[in-house]
């Protein structure tokens, strides 16, 4: 339903104020060759039932239909989602275009965010977490800016094994600021080369992803020691939150700030969105965290209540004092993650993480037997890089025709890895699915 709040008299009055005779005059500065003067080529209207049938037909043509077996992660992962997530998430109390914060009427919303913060802090091993970021990429950029604010230094270093799109977002954020972004190379074992830190001074922070983009598990403890020896903040990034059901969490590895993508926690892939940026840190850095923070308190009668404790973005405070000017709450996505973590529980997350690891190891070993090469020797979680036999490009296309997506070609992001593919396996992939892939690769 369209909502047009302005009457004809309202519009006429506003046009008089700006000195225009009609609405078309507002667009008079647009060159004629940039204007479309033809009617839009829209099809005839459909009834509700006809439209529903049309949408169903379109969905059958999509490459992400259930018939496809997609061995691709690279920052977006297919996981089973408990029915409790969609059921509770769809309640009218939560599904709203605006997230209310007035404590006298919003206790449910505020408590939901508080629960998310608590569960996130436990998962990542940190002291405080916010719920206000678009995705893992923007959470990383905000973390690096946070480090600059804390340290007053103008130089940051990021591993080249952080997701390529995350690094692009970081460059977009930092390019107009004058701050310097340095990329650290990687070693032959698929881990970040931190030796170059010895030559760098005046670093605000160093960011390392684990599991990294190649799926390899970084030695965060050793990385943290080297980074802290440079008097820089240690930022840990992740794309697969479920990995911390099996791996030691970043907080236990001395990370100062932890950020990444929470899509794996109850949020469907949905053609690439929506996503959930997760960000947590040490309590001493709380006032430098971007976004909002919900806290627990007591009212005058001693009853428990939840309030918006910290809101350091520019719609709440002066621009020069704001920690971020674009962060949003992402409350519904955060709620999905909270329901998922509460439904699955710590034991469930550990079992799921184990399944992801074990299934990926099975496929890795079977591909090696079939003649493919696993080029990085380091332990991985649920992703790994494969060099298939020569001529695999044509095989890749043949597999697509058979509704099998055999990983992500790495050439675009790492030109030196032409002919290499990043494969992913989660708990949704059966042994039969993996055996079919191996058999097709051998043909």
Q: Tens digit of pLDDT for each residue in 213-258?
A: 999 999 999 999 999 999 999 999 999 999 999 999 999 999 999 9
Predicted local distance difference test score (pLDDT) of residue 200 = 92
What is the pairing mode between strands 373-374 and 383-387? antiparallel
Look over the chain and give the mean of its residue pLDDT values, rounded to a whole number: 90
Q: What number is the average pLDDT over the span 83-90?
A: 92
Least confident residue range of 36-40, 191-195, 372-376: 36-40
Predicted local distance difference test score (pLDDT) of residue 93 = 80
Strands of the 420-424 sheet, one edge to the other = 373-374, 383-387, 420-424, 408-409
CATH number of 69-80+346-442: 3.90.1150.10
pTM: 0.85
Predicted local distance difference test score (pLDDT) of residue 66 = 65
Reported as a pLDDT band with limits 50, 70 and 90, residue 37 is: confident
Strands of the 257-261 sheet, one edge to the other = 128-133, 277-281, 257-261, 233-238, 205-209, 155-159, 180-184
Reported as a pLDDT band with limits 50, 70 and 90, residue 434 is: very high
- For 414, residues 6+ apart whose C-beta sits below 8 A from its C-beta are 164, 420
**pLDDT tens sequence across 44-73:** 999 999 999 998 888 777 655 567 899 999
Q: For the chain, give every residue range classified as CATH 3.40.640.10.
A: 83-341
Q: At what angle do helices 107-124 and 331-369 cross, to 10 degrees?
A: 30
Predicted local distance difference test score (pLDDT) of residue 373 = 94
Q: H or E element: which one contains 303?
A: none
Before 351, cis peptide (omega within 30)?
no
Fold of the domain spanning 83-341 = 3.40.640
For every residue of 202-223, DSSP letters joined together read: S-SEEEEESS-TTSBPP-HHHH
Indicate whether 441 pLDDT > 90.
no
Q: For the chain, give every residue range classified as CATH 3.90.1150.10.
A: 69-80+346-442
Closest by Cα among 16, 118, 171 to 346: 118
Predicted local distance difference test score (pLDDT) of residue 1 = 41
Predicted local distance difference test score (pLDDT) of residue 3 = 58
Predicted local distance difference test score (pLDDT) of residue 271 = 79
What is the pairing mode between strands 420-424 and 383-387? antiparallel
Indicate whether 272 pLDDT > 90.
no
- For 393, residues 6+ apart whose C-beta sits below 8 A from its C-beta are 419
Indicate whether 299 pLDDT > 80.
yes
Predicted local distance difference test score (pLDDT) of residue 64 = 57
Selected residue with higher pLDDT from 362 and 102: 362
**pLDDT tens sequence across 200-217:** 999 999 999 999 999 999
């Amino acid at each position: 339903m369209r909502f047009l709040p302005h009457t004809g008299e309202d519009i006429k009055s506003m046009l008089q104020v700006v000195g225009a005779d009609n609405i078309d005059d507002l667009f008079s500065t647009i060159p004629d060759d940039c204007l479309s003067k033809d009617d839009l080529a829209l099809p005839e209207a459909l009834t509700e039932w006809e439209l529903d049938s049309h949408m169903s037909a379109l969905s059958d043509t999509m490459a992400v239909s259930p018939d496809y077996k997609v061995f691709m992660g690279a920052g977006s992962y297919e996981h089973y989602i408990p029915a409790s997530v969609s059921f509770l998430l769809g309640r009218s109390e939560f599904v709203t275009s605006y997230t209310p914060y007035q404590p006298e009427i919003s206790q449910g919303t505020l408590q939901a965010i508080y629960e998310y913060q608590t569960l996130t802090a436990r998962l990542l091993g940190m002291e405080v977490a916010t719920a206000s970021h678009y995705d893992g990429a923007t959470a990383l950029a905000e973390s690096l800016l946070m480090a600059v604010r804390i340290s007053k230094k103008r130089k940051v270093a990021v591993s080249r094994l952080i997701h390529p799109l995350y690094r692009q977002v970081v460059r977009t954020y930092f390019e107009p600021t004058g701050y310097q972004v340095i990329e650290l190379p990687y070693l032959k074992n698929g881990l970040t080369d931190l030796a170059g830190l010895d030559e760098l001074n005046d670093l605000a922070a160093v960011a390392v992803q684990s599991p990294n983009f190649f799926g390899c598990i970084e030695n965060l403890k050793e990385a943290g020691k080297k980074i802290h020896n440079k008097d820089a903040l240690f930022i840990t990034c992740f794309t697969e939150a479920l990995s911390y059901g099996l791996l030691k969490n970043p907080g236990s590895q001395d990370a100062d700030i932890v950020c990444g993508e929470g899509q794996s926690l109850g949020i469907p892939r949905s053609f690439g969105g929506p996503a959930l940026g997760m960000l947590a840190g040490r309590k001493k850095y709380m006032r430098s965290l971007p976004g909002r923070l919900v806290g627990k308190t007591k009212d005058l009668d001693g009853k428990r209540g939840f309030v918006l404790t910290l809101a350091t973005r520019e719609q709440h405070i002066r621009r020069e004092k704001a920690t971020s000017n674009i962060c949003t709450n992402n409350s519904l996505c955060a709620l999905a993650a909270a329901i998922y973590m509460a439904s699955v529980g710590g034991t469930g997350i550990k079992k799921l993480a184990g399944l992801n690891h074990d299934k990926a190891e099975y496929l890795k070993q079977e591909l090696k037997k079939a003649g493919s090469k696993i080029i990085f020797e380091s332990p991985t979680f649920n992703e790994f890089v494969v060099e298939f036999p020569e001529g695999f490009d044509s095989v890749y296309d043949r597999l697509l025709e058979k509704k099998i997506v055999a990983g992500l070609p790495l050439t675009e992001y790492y030109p030196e890895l032409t002919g290499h593919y990043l494969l992913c396996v989660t708990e949704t992939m059966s042994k039969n699915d993996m055996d079919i892939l191996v058999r097709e690769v051998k043909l």
